[in-house]
Amino acid sequence: MAAPESGDGNNGAARMVTLISSDNTRFEVEAAAASLSQTLQLTILDGGGGGGDGIPLPNVDSATLSKVLEYCIKHAPAAANGGAPNATAVDRAELERFDNEFVNIDQSVLYSLIMAAHNLEIEGLQSLVAKKVADMIKGKSPMEIRRTLGFPDPTPEEQAEMNAHMLEYGWAYE
Amino acid sequence: MAALMQTLMEELVEEILLRLPPEDAACLLRASLVCKPWQRILSNRAFRRRYREFHGNPPMLGFICNVECANHGIIARFVPTASSCLPHDDRPGWRALNARHGRVILHRMPRQSSPRDNDFLVWDPIAGEHWELPKLPLHPYYTSTAEWNVSVLCATGATCNHLHCHPGGHFIVVFVGKNDSKMFSCVYSSQSRAWNRLNSCQCCVPFLGMAPSVLAGNALYLPCQGIGNQKEILKYDMATHSMSVIDLPPSASLYPRHSLLTTMENGALGLARLRGSKLYLLSREDSPARDAAWELSRVIDLDTLLPADEHYFTVRNDMVGSADSAGIIS
């Protein structure tokens, strides 16, 4: 699988690092983008990941890592500006548009992403996916939430508790 | 697809539940019924603390108003907002005076008599709890003509962000009275369950009304609002329990009610003045000088925020309240 674009091709000075997914695919990416991961940042600061070495990520498969890096590359310039106080409204709107489309994906991918974001300590990505799942469940009844997230059918005991709850707190279901 | 989300570690489920919208109080309740682990997370005290911190100021769950009623004379009423899970709640015979940090102070005066005949009640309408205060301590200045004002606030003081101090936290009530040429004050503490810190000084304001006080920094500010063109504000310093006077901006008046004391976003004392359709927000830095300058910090054009009705501002332009931090519109 091809490595993602490393951003500004004219900037020969940008330091590159190599990340290796659990299925042994190598991804070459700018150090600034990979450093959005708190976990990777330390290794990169120590000079790791360059040359032929590469940083192995045994918990992240190539499909997920590709998606994670897509996020990191997009967000790296704003992160480099320290939260970008000087970012224009257009830049911010563009990032927002990107984020919205980025999480418009299958639930299994959302699951892999939030796990990867957690392992790699990419706070922005973890927050983005958590918000997406929260948006998916808000306004839904307990049963609808279970269906939406693919939980198995409730046990009779759980079902009885839900029914009793609905009777007691009818307002919460209107 | 396998039930992947159900296998998500608790830490990440918490990140998701943390982002449920606070505006819809029922949302958290419904989520708690999804499964036992979710219920455990949502009922955890640490999660509730994080949730409040994450969303900043709590949503408005309701407001307090005093309603005249043929049977009870007056009723202090809690009116919940549409999205809140709380029922209407009435305190017949009681009048709400001041609200802050989630608590309301009410009073009941059986007949026209001295302030000492007043019964005071502190009410937490969200938790549905209330505490009756003991009678005010005996004081020679109390007479039937005494003017007074009373405020409730969290006991933790300026270091508290008021996200966790109630229910269950301690509160204090500050009573300030004026009789002819004397001012007097005392403070009730829910911790000691007693009135203490009795204090008095020579009169420093010409009139003490019952308009709600404002908390800014570590001081309560009492607008001397009621009759005439009052230009003074009484400052009650919570650290020293001393009273002093500060002046309004030269052209401002708290009477009639076109100006309102408020707390600015940075915690400073503020004054909102309505002129035409424009709301002017002035701010005053905390200075011991009585005549420290007020600075214009913001102008809000209500024309662009309210329905375009040219009669609106001429018919009804009294300002009745402002939102206090983590509190209740008073």
Cα B252 to Cα A50: distance, rounded to the nearest angstrom: 68
Amino acid at site B113: S
Over range B94-98, report the average pLDDT.
89
For chain B, say whether A150 makes contact (Cβ under 8 Å).
yes
Q: How many CA atoms lie within 13 A of B296 on its CB side?
A: 10
B218-252 residue pLDDT tens: 899 988 755 555 678 889 998 888 888 888 887 76
- ipTM at complex level: 0.85
Determine what percent of chain A is predicted with pLDDT higher than 90: 49
For chain B, say whether A86 makes contact (Cβ under 8 Å).
no
Q: Which residues contact B134 (CB under 8 A, 6 or more apart)?
A: B188, B193, B194, B195
Instruction: Name which of A12-26, B180-194, B256-270 the model is least confident about.
Output: B256-270
Contact assessment for residue B122 and residue B171, using Cβ atoms and an 8 Å cutoff = yes
In chain A, residues with a C-beta closer than 8 Å to the C-beta of B1 are: 107-108, 150
Instruction: Name which of A61-70, B147-156, B302-311 the model is least confident about.
Output: B302-311
In chain A, residues with a C-beta closer than 8 Å to the C-beta of B61 are: none
Closest chain A C-alpha to B10 CA, distance in angstroms: 12
Chain B residue with minimal CA distance to A124? Answer: B15
Q: Which residue has the higher pLDDT, B303 or A174?
A: B303
Backbone torsions φ then ψ of B246, nearest 5 degrees: -125, 160
Cα A172 to Cα B13: distance, rounded to the nearest angstrom: 22
End-to-end CA distance of chain B: give it in Å, rounded. Answer: 52
Q: How many CA atoms lie within 13 A of B7 on its CB side?
A: 8
Cα B8 to Cα A107: distance, rounded to the nearest angstrom: 12
Cα B238 to Cα B242: distance, rounded to the nearest angstrom: 8
- Both tokens of B260, joined, read 């309102």
Q: Distances in Å between the alpha carbon of A5 and those of A2, A21, A59? A: 9, 17, 23
The confidence score (pLDDT) of residue B279 equals: 83
In chain A, residues with a C-beta closer than 8 Å to the C-beta of B16 are: 130, 133-134, 137
Q: Distances in Å between the alpha carbon of B30 and those of A118, A157, B59? A: 26, 17, 18
Amino acid at site A84: A
Which range scores top for mean pLDDT: A21-25, A169-173, B34-38, B235-239? A21-25
**Element containing residue B46 per DSSP (H, E):** helix B45-55
Cα B55 to Cα A147: distance, rounded to the nearest angstrom: 27
Q: How many Cβ atoms are within 10 Å of A4's Cβ, its own excluded?
A: 18
**Which of B1, B19, B39, B85 should be substituted to probe chain A, the one whose Cβ sees the most A Cβ atoms within 10 Å?**
B19
Exposed e or buried b for every residue in B136-175, given b needs 16+ CB within 10 A?
beebebbeeebbbbbbbbbbbeeebebbbbbeebebbbbb
The confidence score (pLDDT) of residue A8 equals: 43
Which range scores top for mean pLDDT: B56-65, B224-233, B311-320? B56-65
**Element containing residue A30 per DSSP (H, E):** strand A26-30
Query: Which strand ranges, in their side-by-side order, compose the sheet holding B73-80?
Result: B62-69, B73-80, B89-92
- Both tokens of A32, joined, read 């600034």
Cα A15 to Cα A30: distance, rounded to the nearest angstrom: 6
pLDDT level of residue B1 (50, 70, 90 thresholds): very low
Q: Which residue has the higher pLDDT, A150 or B161?
A: A150
Q: Tell the burial category of B314 from Cβ atoms under 10 Å away from its Cβ (0-12, 13-18, 19+).
A: exposed
The confidence score (pLDDT) of residue B229 equals: 59
The confidence score (pLDDT) of residue B161 equals: 65
pLDDT level of residue B19 (50, 70, 90 thresholds): very high
Determine what percent of chain B is predicted with pLDDT higher than 70: 77
CB contact under 8 A, A165 and B15: no
Cα A115 to Cα A109: distance, rounded to the nearest angstrom: 10
A85-99 residue pLDDT tens: 566 777 888 899 999
A22-66 residue pLDDT tens: 999 999 999 999 999 999 998 888 877 776 788 999 999 999 999
B153 pLDDT above the threshold of 70: yes
Radius of gyration from C-alpha coordinates of chain A: 20
CB-nearest to B34 from A108, A142, A171 is: A142
Query: Does the predicted TM-score (pTM) go above 0.95?
Result: no
Domains with residue ranges and CATH for chain A: 16-138 (3.30.710.10), 139-174 (no CATH)
The confidence score (pLDDT) of residue B311 equals: 43
For chain B, say whether A126 makes contact (Cβ under 8 Å).
yes
A9 pLDDT above the threshold of 80: no
Q: Is B29 helix (H, G, I), strand (E, B) or coil?
A: helix
A135-161 residue pLDDT tens: 999 888 888 999 999 888 888 888 888
The confidence score (pLDDT) of residue B35 equals: 87
Q: Is B284 helix (H, G, I), strand (E, B) or coil?
A: strand
CB contact under 8 A, A107 and B18: no
